[in-house]
Amino acid sequence: MAATNKKIVLRNHVTGFPKESDMELVAATGAAPSRVPEGTDGAVLVKNLYLSCDPYMRGRMSSHDGSYVDAFVVGEAITGYGVGKVVDSSHPGFKAGDLVWGMTGWEEYSLIKDPSRALFAIRHPDLPLSYYTGLLGMAGFTAYVGFYEICAPREGERVYVSAASGAVGQLVGQFAKLMGCYVVGSAGSDDKVRLLREKFGFDDAFNYKKESDLSAALKRCFPEGIDIYFENVGGAMLDAVLLNMRVRGRVAACGMISQYNLEHPDPVHNLTAIVTKRLRIEGFIVSDHYARYREYEEKAARYVKEGKIGYVEDVAEGLENAPAALIGLFSGRNVGKQVVVVARE
């Protein structure tokens, strides 16, 4: 019997905290595709190997949230970043056998109709391919852009990273250490705190769930204040950070995961600190910066090969386990970058 193309589809748009049951595994009718359809020019058929679970995907699960990307379509395959192998191509820039990463479907095979915009060829296949869902892909480049371009760091500055054991945070902290900064991170378990200190080389770290006063915790770690805050959380954490920033500090607003599932976002009370401390707060979307991706890929690959940065993945095996892996992001269940293995070539 010919194999079918299994996929994860969104069953309904989501309000509040998402559930695994908001998604389902379905098998398309007929055999799995093996060729780009006749008459479809400039497309590639990709066999998906690894899928990336990312917090921004929560916004796409709602019908309207003001997200910078379109909502998922109910009944159709979820889309996100992933790594795949080209099976067939009608695009002159790609050929069968090429390894690629970029925007693909949560399915075994995806037809990508605009691959020159959606996909990047993988230039370091000697490194683990799954790294292109994170360290060498979108998450790693997010850390690079947010830290170096948005934060404009200087040696010796004091850097705070929230959600620091996640795909982006673990790299921001290590980039900051390579620059000679003092780095503190927060995470949601003692095991994650140990990981920050022992694996990633943070100067200090704390479990925010054990702190009754976040501002006091930050004051303890930064008695002279924070120069740079890499923002991944929002809400009460952002409020506490504003009180502890130094004059002319910078905040790179990468994400606010504590707010994504709330129908009524938490208020932020300490905004006057932006004025009195002359702070610069800037949000950014990594796709605006992809013209510089190749520069990052070479630098990050070199860091990995030289042992200058460590990286931790949380791997879920099988497409059927993708919904649970994605939902786990919002309760902090993952340790490191959450990856789903669809196939290992």
Q: Which tens digit of pLDDT belongs to each residue from 107-152?
A: 999 999 999 888 999 999 999 999 999 999 999 999 999 999 999 9
Question: Taking a C-beta distance cutoff of 8 angstroms, is the pair 202, 184 a contact?
Answer: yes
Q: Give mean pLDDT, residues 26-52.
A: 87
As a dihedral over the C-alpha atoms of residue 204, residue 338, residue 47, residue 114, rounded to 10 degrees, the angle is -70
Q: Give mean pLDDT, residues 42-54.
A: 94
Task: Decide whether 5-134+311-339 matches 136-284 in CATH topology.
Answer: no
Specify the CATH number for 136-284; select among 3.40.50.970, 3.40.50.720, 3.30.70.370, 3.30.70.1290.
Answer: 3.40.50.720
pLDDT tens digit string along 324-343?
A: 999 998 888 888 899 999 99
- What pLDDT, on the 0 to 100 scale, is given for residue 289? 94
CA angle centred on 259, ends 255 and 264, rounded to 5°: 145
Instruction: Find how far residue 40's CA is from the centre of its chain.
Output: 32
- What pLDDT, on the 0 to 100 scale, is given for residue 1? 45
- What pLDDT, on the 0 to 100 scale, is given for residue 70? 85
Let me know how many helices (H) and strands (E) the chain has, helices first: 10, 15
Q: Angle at which helices 235-244 and 214-221 pack, to 10 degrees?
A: 40
Q: Give mean pLDDT, residues 25-44.
A: 84
Residue with the bigger pLDDT between 155 and 33: it is 155
Lowest-pLDDT choice from 3-17, 162-176, 225-239: 3-17
pLDDT(23) > 50: yes
- What pLDDT, on the 0 to 100 scale, is given for residue 332? 85
- What pLDDT, on the 0 to 100 scale, is given for residue 65? 58
| Domain positions in the chain | 5-134+311-339, 136-284
How buried is residue 159: exposed, middle or buried, by Cβ count under 10 Å (0-12/13-18/19+)?
Answer: buried
pLDDT(28) > 90: no
Question: What is the pLDDT of the chain when averaged over all its residues?
Answer: 93
Can you tell me whether residue 282 is helix, strand or coil? Answer: strand
Please give the structure tokens belonging to residue 268. Answer: 């932020």
Q: Give mean pLDDT, residues 192-213.
A: 96
Strand 23-27 relative to strand 44-52, pairing: unpaired
pLDDT(2) > 80: no
- What gap in Å lies between CA 216 and CA 238, rounded to an integer? 13
pLDDT tens digit string along 250-268?
A: 999 998 888 888 888 899 9
Domain covering 5-134+311-339: architecture? Alpha-Beta Complex (3.90)
CA angle centred on 284, ends 282 and 289, rounded to 5°: 130
